[in-house]
Each structure stands twice: as structure tokens, then as C-alpha cells.
């Protein structure tokens, strides 16, 4: 059974009894849910367990800093109709649901998700699809939320078929944590629902630590990939979870072993009450530089920052080249040694 109440956290050994009052205060503001698969991963003997840190609430979440924002990446500024975020010309987010199987303590939409916040109404979904039909530049629709895979296969399949009926949409992408947190729910019927004739479906899996990719999770991902649906990854750089090169290396290798292409490593957003998770960008650059020398190109994610205020996502990884006019450049290798690169004038 999914753990949702502070008392259940204590009973499961995920928090000490003396923290019950603090947990209740956090749960009153931010949703809590820990699935059995996640609870089984948590090392209760380790006070700094990286899995627990992601999912078990903590009183520090009630401490906000002046620069944190309720809508840290500016979804609202680009939402022409309910459920749609149209930030880039060729793609839109379609936020079908505002609930998840689990609630990450660092979530950038934490103010907008939780119990009682269900999927779009029939009328709202109709309006969202009408918007997509009216904008022929939209090539890709990204289903997000919340987690779209919490929907039944029937409901999800119906939405994907309706999207697929829009001729100019060629790509349907789904962002999810479900294969990690409830791998048993990745059933053949759900996988079948992800596919649409004449369209290409991608699934982006969110995982932040190599221990999340258990054998059950790998089998769930295999069901998706074996059905012909490519997978990519997205992870968040989190202090105390994956902010060391060895952990990131193991995570990225695990993705590749699962036939999941590492895609994005997100700098943690300025969501309220999440300052204890954030690193500096300089630390993130140092870690991604270290990865460049440790793993193959298959295992390299792009380190990105979603610029606060709705200005979009940009790469913020380390630089390796310093241009010297038109004649050449100074290039730094993975050991930090500098080399002169000369190029003839054209």
C-alpha cells in the first residue's frame, strides 16, 4: 500500500516518532506518497539514504528563500489554455493530470500537484486539443503533469489516439516516473496504449540514483523498449543524492544498459522549500566535466538550466573551447590540458 500519512511514515520506520508533528506540518502543505517499490529501496539504517532524501518529507521544506518561486520555470506565462504550455514554437506540454504515484520532495510543480487535483476535464481536454489543431507548427506533444502514466490504459490510449489524429503532430512524448516507482503497472495493455499508428512515441524516464534501476524496473523498461518505443532519461542534480561523479557515472551507465539514452541532467529549479537540494551551477559543471572523462558518449546527458520566469531551457555545461579570432582556438581536453587548434582562413 502506498504510504501517504505522516503516521504511516513512522509506522514504516521511515521517520522517527519525534518528527511526527513536523511531518504533519509538511504534509499539510505538500503532498506525500511513497509506493511499496520505493519504500523497499530505502535503507532505514542510513540517515542520509539518497532514496529517502528524495521522497520522505522533511521540515526543511517549509523554509523558503527570497528567490524561490511558486512557478519556477514560468509555465503560467506560456499557458494559453488550461493544460497547455506552449513555450517553444514546435512543441507543447499537455498537462493531463496533476497527480503522481509518488511526490518528489524537490518537485518544481509541487505547489500544483497532489491529491484532489485530477486530470483535465472533458471540456478542458477538448479545448487543449483544439489549440494544438489550430497551430500547425506544433510537431511534438509532450504529456506531463503530474505523471500521465497514472491514467488507465484506456484513458491514456484514448488521449494519444486523439493527438495522433492531428496530422501535423508527429511525435508524442511522455514524461514519467512510474516504471521506477511502480514497475508492476507497466503492463502490456499500458504499453500498447502508448503507441499510435503513424506517429512516433518516446518515453522519458525520471530517475536520479542508480539504485532506482532495480531488476523489476529494468524489466518494466524492457517492456516499453521491446515494443518499439525509444526511451530517454531525465535526472535532477540533487545535493546529497547524486552530486558526486561516481554516482552520476553509475546512473548514466545503468540507463544505457537499459537501452535508455541519457538526455537531460537538470539543475534543480527554484521551487519553494528546495534550497537544501540545490548545488551551484559551478558544481554541476565540474561534475559533468568529470563525466566526460569517465563514460562514453552514449552515457553523456546534457546539463541544463530552465531559466526562471519562463525563458526556456539552455545547456549550462562546461566549455572546452576558447576562440582566438578567425585563425583558431584553444581547446581543453578531458584532463584539463590546453591545446592550440589552428584553422585555415576560408
Active site residues: 87-88, 91, 100, 104, 107, 109, 269, 306, 313
Q: Is the bond preceding 146 in cis, omega lying within 30 degrees of 0?
A: yes
Helix 122-133 with 153-164: angle, nearest 10 deg? 30
Q: For residue 148, which of 119, 116, 124 has the smallest C-alpha distance? A: 119
The grid coordinates listed for 35 are: 509506493
Beta bridge pairs of residue 144: 95
Judged by DSSP in three states, 283 sits in: helix
Q: Are 73 and 310 in contact (CB under 8 A)?
A: yes
CA dist., res. 145 & res. 155, Å (int): 15
Q: For residue 27, which of 54, 52, 2, 56 has the smallest C-alpha distance? A: 56
CA dist., res. 47 & res. 207, Å (int): 21
Contacts of 303 (CB under 8 A, 6+ apart): 237, 265, 267, 284, 285, 288, 315, 316, 317
Q: How far is CA 293 from CA 98, 259, 290, in A?
A: 39, 21, 6
Region of 41 (left: φ > 0; alpha: ψ -120 to 50; beta: rest) is alpha
CA dist., res. 227 & res. 188, Å (int): 9
CA dist., res. 262 & res. 255, Å (int): 7
CA 173 to chain centroid, in Å, comes to: 13
CA dist., res. 7 & res. 316, Å (int): 41
Amino acid at each position: 500500500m502506498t504510504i501517504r500519512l505522516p503516521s504511516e511514515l513512522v509506522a514504516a520506520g521511515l521517520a522517527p516518532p519525534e518528527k511526527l508533528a513536523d511531518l504533519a506540518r509538511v504534509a499539510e502543505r505538500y503532498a506525500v506518497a511513497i509506493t511499496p517499490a520505493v519504500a523497499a529501496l530505502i535503507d532505514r539504517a542510513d540517515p542520509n539514504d539518497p532514496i529517502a532524501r528524495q521522497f520522505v518529507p522533511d521540515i526543511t521544506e517549509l523554509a523558503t528563500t527570497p528567490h524561490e518561486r511558486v512557478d519556477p520555470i514560468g509555465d503560467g506565462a506560456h499557458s494559453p489554455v488550461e493544460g497547455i504550455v506552449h513555450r517553444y514554437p514546435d512543441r507543447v506540454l499537455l498537462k493531463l493530470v496533476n497527480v503522481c504515484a509518488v511526490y518528489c520532495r524537490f518537485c518544481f510543480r509541487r505547489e500544483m500537484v497532489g491529491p484532489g487535483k485530477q486530470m483535465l476535464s472533458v471540456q478542458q481536454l477538448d479545448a487543449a486539443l483544439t489549440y494544438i489543431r489550430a497551430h500547425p507548427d506544433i510537431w511534438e506533444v509532450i504529456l506531463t503533469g503530474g505523471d500521465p502514466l497514472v491514467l488507465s490504459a484506456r484513458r491514456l490510449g484514448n488521449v494519444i489516439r486523439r493527438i495522433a489524429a492531428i496530422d501535423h503532430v508527429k511525435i508524442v512524448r511522455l514524461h514519467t516516473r512510474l516504471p521506477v516507482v511502480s514497475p508492476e503497472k507497466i503492463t502490456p495493455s499500458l504499453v500498447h496504449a502508448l503507441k499510435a499508428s503513424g506517429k512516433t512515441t518516446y518515453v522519458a524516464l525520471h530517475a536520479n540514483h542508480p539504485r532506482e534501476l532495480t531488476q523489476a524496473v529494468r524489466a518494466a523498461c524492457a517492456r516499453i523498449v521491446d515494443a518499439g518505443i525509444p526511451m530517454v532519461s531525465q535526472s535532477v542534480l540533487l545535493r546529497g543524492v547524486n552530486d558526486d561523479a561516481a554516482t552520476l557515472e553509475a546512473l548514466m551507465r545503468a540507463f544505457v544498459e537499459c537501452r535508455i539514452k541519457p538526455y537531460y541532467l537538470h539543475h534543480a529549479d527554484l521551487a519553494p522549500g528546495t534550497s537544501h537540494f540545490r548545488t551551484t551551477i559551478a558544481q554541476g559543471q565540474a561534475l559533468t566535466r568529470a563525466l566526460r572523462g569517465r563514460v562514453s558518449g552514449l552515457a553523456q546527458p546534457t546539463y541544463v538550466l530552465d531559466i526562471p520566469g519562463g525563458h526556456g531551457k539552455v545547456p549550462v555545461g562546461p566549455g572546452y573551447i576558447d576562440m582566438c579570432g578567425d585563425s583558431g582556438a584553444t581547446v581543453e581536453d578531458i584532463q584539463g590540458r590546453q591545446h592550440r587548434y589552428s584553422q585555415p582562413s576560408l
